[in-house]
Amino acid sequence: MNRSAKWWLAIAFVLLSGVVAYFVSSEENAWTLIGIFFGTFVSEDLASISAGLLSGSGQLDFVSATAAAFLGIFVGDLIIFGLGYFIGRPILCHRWSRWLVSERAVDRAQRAFEKHGIWIILMTRFIPGTRTATYFSAGSVHAPVLPFVLVFALAALLWTPLLVGISAVIGKQLIEFYEVYEAFALPAILFAGLALYFIFHYGIPLLTWRGRRQLRGKWMRAVRWEFWPVWQVNWAVLLHVVYLGLVRYRRPMLVTAVNPCMPHGGIIGESKGALMQTISPSCEGLLAWEQVKPGTPSERIQAVREIMAEKGLKYPVVLKPDEGQRGLAVEIIPDEPVAHEWLGKTPGTAILQEYAGGKEYGIFYARFPSKPEGRIISITRKEQLSITGNGEDTVEDLIYQHPRAIAMLNLFLARFDKQLDRVPDSGEEIPLGQLGTHALGSLFLDGKDLLTPELSRCVDRIAKAIPGFYFGRFDFKAEGDEALKAGRGLKVLEVNGATSESTHIYDPQYGLFHAWQTLFAQWRLAHEIALENAAAGVPVSSFRDFVRDILAGFRRQRKLTDI
């Protein structure tokens, strides 16, 4: 770092330290002001609102309250800028840094910074959720320190008195309310603080089109369960599974016998390669595949070359972890450089698989061991979203305009981060995804109308070619709906065990209670099949082995989420 940068940062921190020391030594409410100062590091808006409410109620004078909030915001801005300046992007490699800012957010902010220059600092001060990445980006490109310190100060001077002042006016009204309705004062203060936070945090974005679209996406994620985190949906399913094991069947680990061909029935830890090795080579629809063992990137890319030559494969191909869920780290590989990059960043055993074109479907299958035939209990159409160019709007604008993509805005902005400023030609269609995974942006639709005797017989034949498989979901590719209904040309992409879902429940027409009802019935069926298997001598997992393997599986999945 140049001497000028060190000089100005040192001056800034010395001055700020002096002001904080002044508060401690001369202010009656010194610790309250220090609390506001450090509170801005957690939430600038809530700390400033608190400062205003305290000022309005007469516990702090307005100047001191505003100064404490301003200094905290200013120091926080300098810290973020300094992290970018002194350390830069290497800090983003650490998992703990994600609570501060993501690398993709920094990429977007850097493009905005390069486009708008230093004045982006003023703009982002009034746009919640954009400041951290922008200030870090400015530091990481070693922007001139003095101009940025001055702009940080100007932005904070414009924003802080406004936020504290409005909160102070509200606080003064609350004092009058307190004098008349003392019993309701505390709830009123808490409500006022939260209301102000939501007004500044969510109200200001309503002033811009993109801000309104972002809030639209947040609303969709809040009210449509299909976008909720897994734990928010599956807590009820987990309780039902525990009930089935402990109460109804009185064998807590019974369900682990549902698929003898998979560890623990396919609940966790199933190896795609180990399962595929059990399938008869004559099984219809089986794509060419092979495991790629761990090693250096050079060793692994050489193994990929040898496998492709042996199997007669050409790019594109599919690479995915041998053990993974919800499409984590699965990628369609267009050429060798991309393959080399994927192998370098994805640890552990991988699966190299032939790429199959066509439409993707999810089919859930179940068969009792005592029955000669199984049945299909769910069919899902997996549709990929797309945007269409109009010759005027950028890729980013088109994503914002899409009625569904807006609910997964960050996902798609990250996926197209290098193309966001491109203006597609009029009529140019750009697929937003390639993989049939709901968590990665696919639209799932109920395909019950596709069920035919021909399809049932075809899936039954494929399932019976996997010894010990009775319950789970197949992911297929087919030319289209008619080919699927005829059971013609189905390609097996993947086989999933006990924890796979009847994915038609993610159709937007269905609510949460329909999903729960479906999943409850699915797990009851799994226990009934497992009961037959256990009676025939299939071993049930021990609790100790199950817990050990599931914890190890979670650790492996966590590594994949870091990619």
Same-domain status, 18 and 111:
yes
Instruction: Provide the residue count of the chain.
Output: 563
- Domain assignment of residue 180, given as a range: 3-207
Within 10 angstroms of residue 440's Cβ, the number of other Cβ atoms is 19
Same-domain status, 458 and 532:
yes
> pLDDT confidence of 146, banded at 50, 70, 90?
confident
Number of domains composing the chain: 4
219 within a domain of the structure (yes/no): yes
Phi then psi dihedrals of residue 327, to 5 deg: 75, 15
Same-domain status, 60 and 108:
yes
Q: Which residue has the tokens 């199959």?
A: 356
CA distances from 498 to 128, 237, 366, 396 (A): 42, 13, 10, 39
Q: What is the pLDDT of residues 43-91, one digit of tens each?
A: 887 788 888 888 877 788 888 888 888 888 888 888 888 887 777 666 6
Q: Which is more confidently placed, 280 or 388?
A: 388
Mean pLDDT score, 357-371: 95
Question: Does 24 have pLDDT greater than 60?
Answer: no
Same-domain status, 318 and 416:
no
Phi then psi dihedrals of residue 463, to 5 deg: -65, -40
Same-domain status, 110 and 161:
yes
Q: What is the pLDDT of residues 35-47, one digit of tens each?
A: 888 888 888 877 8
Mean pLDDT score, 442-471: 95
Q: What is the pLDDT of residues 511-557, one digit of tens each?
A: 999 999 999 999 999 999 999 999 999 999 999 988 888 888 777 77
Instruction: Give the pLDDT score at 484.
Output: 96
Same-domain status, 47 and 73:
yes
Mean pLDDT score, 294-306: 91
Instruction: Give the pLDDT score at 76.
Output: 85
Same-domain status, 24 and 122:
yes
Alpha carbons 524 and 391: distance in angstroms, whole number: 53
SS (H, E, C) 120-142: HHHHHHCCCCCHHHHHHHHHHCC
Q: What is the CATH number of the domain that holds 320?
A: 3.30.1490.20
Instruction: Give the pLDDT score at 78.
Output: 84
Closest CA to 503 of 356, 328, 365, 319: 365
Phi then psi dihedrals of residue 421, to 5 deg: -90, 0
35 within a domain of the structure (yes/no): yes
141 within a domain of the structure (yes/no): yes
Same-domain status, 549 and 453:
yes
Same-domain status, 69 and 141:
yes
CA distances from 86 to 91, 117, 143, 150, 546 (A): 10, 20, 12, 19, 46
DSSP SS3 for 353? strand
Q: Describe the crossing of helices 185-198 and 145-180 by its angle, rounded to 10 degrees.
A: 150
Query: Secondary structure of the chain: what % helix, strand, coil (to 5)?
Result: 60, 10, 30
Alpha carbons 213 and 198: distance in angstroms, whole number: 17
Tokens, residue 82: 């300094």
Same-domain status, 345 and 214:
no
Question: Does 377 have pLDDT greater than 80?
Answer: yes
282 within a domain of the structure (yes/no): no
Q: What is the pLDDT of residues 320-341, one digit of tens each?
A: 988 777 777 788 999 999 999 9
Same-domain status, 11 and 56:
yes
549 within a domain of the structure (yes/no): yes
Helices (H), 390-464: 395-401, 409-415, 453-464
pTM attached to this predicted model: 0.77
Q: Which is more confidently placed, 105 or 261?
A: 261
- Using the 3D structure, point to which of 189, 207, 225 is the last residue of a domain: 207
CA distances from 404 to 88, 414, 508 (A): 35, 16, 11
Same-domain status, 344 and 374:
no
